[in-house]
């Protein structure tokens, strides 16, 4: 009986750990399975600069400036700001929560925008990032959002550790 339960437990753990994550929900053509378009710029002093997302040309957006700016963001009990900008023909962004971390904006990784949707990853994946941004452990959160018609509100959901919850951002 114990051997059977142990074997079942091993099979469950193996299936859980080896399962491929395929996200195709309401995020439309922007998914975590898209080809990454991320580049990290290193400055002479060793600090990491912006992380570029998709290019304006590849996004299909006709009025890119309308998608940029600073947004007040709410994610559960956490409140802060998301900034979306343009550099060298590509989108980039940061996120900062006023009641979390060290007060340093985190770069939006794998940022992708199209006319009405946004996708990005917020993550801390190393000891250096924990020290820089705050927190106690590594994590990865995937954010999906839909812009309102006037591009002043983004509503969506984020995934973290097998759970899903909502977030909202309003342009300042």
**Once rounded to an integer, what is the mean pLDDT over residues 78-106?**
95
Tell me which residue of 143, 141, 125, 144 sits closest to 133, measured CA to CA: 125
Write the DSSP assignment of 1-15 as a string of letters. Answer: -HHHHHHHHHHHHHH
pLDDT of residue 68: 96
Give the model's confidence band at 2: pLDDT under 50 very low, under 70 low, under 90 confident, else very high. low
CB neighbour class for 86 (10 Å; exposed up to 12, middle 13-18, buried from 19)? middle
Q: What is the pTM of this model?
A: 0.73
Kindly give, in sequence order, each residue whose CB lies less than 8 Å from that of residue 140, ignoring residues fewer than 6 positions away: 121, 122, 123, 125, 160
Is pLDDT above 70 for 65? yes
Tell me which architecture the domain covering 23-171 has in CATH: Beta Barrel (2.40)
- Any idea what DSSP says for residue 67? G
pLDDT of residue 135: 87
Q: Give φ, ψ of 88 to 5 degrees.
A: 50, 40
pLDDT tens digits for range 139-150: 999 999 999 999
Average pLDDT on 43-68 reads 80
Going across the sheet that includes 69-75, the strands are: 106-107, 90-97, 78-87, 69-75, 163-171, 153-160, 139-147, 117-124, 109-113
| Domain ranges for the chain | 23-171
Predicted confidence at residue 3, as pLDDT, reads 58
- What pLDDT score does 170 carry? 98
């Amino acid at each position: 009986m114990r051997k059977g339960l142990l074997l079942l437990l091993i099979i469950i753990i193996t299936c859980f750990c080896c399962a491929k994550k395929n996200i195709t929900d309401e995020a439309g053509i922007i998914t975590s399975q898209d080809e990454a378009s991320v580049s990290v710029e290193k400055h002479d002093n060793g600090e990491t600069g912006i992380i570029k997302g998709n290019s304006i040309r590849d996004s299909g957006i006709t009025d890119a400036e309308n998608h940029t700016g600073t947004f007040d963001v709410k994610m559960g009990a956490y409140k802060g700001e998301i900034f979306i900008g343009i550099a060298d023909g590509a989108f980039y962004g940061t996120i900062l929560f006023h009641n979390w971390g060290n007060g340093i904006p985190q770069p939006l990784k794998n940022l992708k925008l199209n006319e009405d949707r946004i996708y990005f990853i917020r993550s801390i994946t190393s000891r250096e990032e924990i020290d820089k941004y705050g927190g106690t452990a590594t994590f990865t959160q995937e954010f999906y959002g839909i812009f309102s018609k006037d591009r002043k509100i983004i509503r969506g959901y984020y995934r973290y550790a097998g759970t899903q919850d909502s977030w909202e951002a309003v342009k300042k």
